[in-house]
Amino acid sequence: MKADNPVQQAVTWINDPLNWTNPGGIVDRLGEHLWISAAAVALGCLVAWPIGMWLGHAGRGGSVVVMISNLTLAIPTIALLTILPLTFLGFGKPPVIVALAVFAVPPLLANAYTGVRSIDPEARDAARGMGLSGWQVLARVELPLAVPYLAAGFRTASVQVVATAALASFVNGGGLGQIISAGFGLGISVGGGQILAGGVLVALLAILVEAILAVVERAVTPRPLRRARGRAARRAAAATGNA
Amino acid sequence: MSFRLALQESPGNPWFSWQYVRDNSDTILAALREHATLTAEAVLLATAVAVPLAVIAYWYRPLTGPILALSGILYTIPSLALLAFVAPYVGTTNPASVLIALVLYALLLIVRNSLAGLNQVPPEARDAAQGMGYGRWGLLLRIDLPLALPGIVTGLRLATVSTVALVTVGSLIGQGGLGNLILGGFNSNFYRAQILTGTVLCVGLALLLDLLLATAGRLLTPWSRRAAR
């Protein structure tokens, strides 16, 4: 017996406990999705934060930051997902993680750069005047003051990675997108419900991550900075094209 | 995996081959045309929806928050999920499924940047125009929109570049333009030349369209040439 309406089919599919607990079911795929995304964001932070903060500290490379974000915007995710497994990275999870990390870099980099750049020069001068060296200024003054920006970049990058991780299914890389791809493989009359259910799961996950990290971002932003920060972040985001 | 070792040793799978490009020029051009058409349709449709939305948000301030929030949510939803929402209703082999998902995705970039452009119109210019007897529509068409053009063009450029990249997602249902080449190359024995040709054309198309829009924007706003950027 087959429900004719895709929404009914989706509800039926999602209410089947086996679809959750089977190998390759929702629980499995969710775990894969979160693990791939977390690894990609961590890798992106590892690369982008030091470079972004150093560029901001040195006051150079603003155009490089903009150029990198424009260039990555033009590269299709699927291109990297298909090219990287054919390089020395080999098949499996590593190429997927690297591909997603590439797309996490621009928001992380831009926010780290803007965060350090937008620090009141007087705070920096005062630190210099107290005899702090360049590294000490970076570590003790600029880093703490840039934390709200780093958090904003982290949120943007994480949401983007969680969203793009769904595309890993194109190269059989796992994650919740696999449910959608499998549904398309079955065809619309059989898999319609599964496609819709997978879409809802992926969308909910992205919105959930966005909401949680928005709370985190607010928590690490000192109260007096909250209003002004929101505006500055939107401006930085508009400049680099990342929401 | 054994086939991976075989691939790395095989000299017959180069990253680029003129032979491939020559032999498949018809397929490649067709894919490029499909890609460009989908992009153009998506960006035009998105503009036709987004600019009026931005104007509404500009005229009726209380609506600004809801409009930005709604397009923000649409933008947060992963492209694949959007495709999954649309495809069961529109059809899995229908290019319209991809088109609708692309339009929904491009909305935010255009709405946000157009609104930013409109908000930057100097109040003095509006006051002067009102003093000269411009009505609401005259003010919009002859003062606000022309002065907001830099913002609108920025939105169009971002939307175009990201749409070119996103079209490839449509390859899941065989409607992805150059994405079909990329994914097809991967699925047919990891054919590197096909994957890279598709990728290079895709990035090239994005950069070309970006350059065209930037030039058009400069030509349309001769007064802001100095202030731009």
Number of domains present in the structure of chain B: 1
pLDDT for the residue B191 = 80
Are residues B195 and A79, on separate chains, in Cβ contact within 8 Å? yes
Range of the domain at B198: 2-224
CB contact under 8 A, B172 and A170: yes
pLDDT > 70? residue B8 = no
Q: What is the pLDDT of residues B152-178, one digit of tens each?
A: 999 999 999 999 988 988 888 888 888
CATH number at residue B167: 1.10.3720.10
Total domains in chain A come to 1
Contacts of A169 in chain B (CB under 8 A): 80
CATH label of the domain that carries residue A56: 1.10.3720.10
B97 in a structural domain: yes
Please give the Cα distance from B156 to B213 (Å, whole number).
8
Helix, strand or coil, per DSSP, at residue B104? helix
Confirm whether B133 is domain-assigned.
Answer: yes
Q: What is the pLDDT of residues B23-47, one digit of tens each?
A: 888 888 998 999 999 999 999 999 9
Structural domain boundaries, residue A44: 6-240
Residue B135: φ, ψ to 5°: -85, -175
DSSP category for residue B93: T
- Residue B229 lies inside a defined structural domain of this protein: no
Indicate whether A86 belongs to any domain: yes
Select from B85, B91, B164 the Cβ nearest to the Cβ of A196.
B85
Amino acid B6: pLDDT: 45
What is the model's pLDDT at position B225? 67
Residue ranges in A59-117 assigned as alpha helix (H): 62-74, 77-83, 93-117
Whether residue B211 lies within 8 A of chain A, CB to CB, comes out as no
**B16: number of Cβ within 10 Å:** 12
At B41-76, the pLDDT tens digits run: 999 999 999 999 999 999 998 998 888 888 888 888
Measure CB to CB from residue A180 to each of B84, B154, B178 and give the nearest one.
B84
Q: What is the mean pLDDT of residues A146-165?
A: 90
Contact call for A206 and B206, based on CB within 8 A: no
* From A191-195, B3-7, B199-203, the region with the lowest mean pLDDT: B3-7
Residue A28 lies in a domain: yes
Judging contacts by C-beta atoms under 8 Å, the chain A residues touching residue B4 are 90-91
Assess if residue B73 is contained within a domain. Answer: yes
Does residue A1 fall inside a structural domain?
no
Prediction pTM value: 0.82
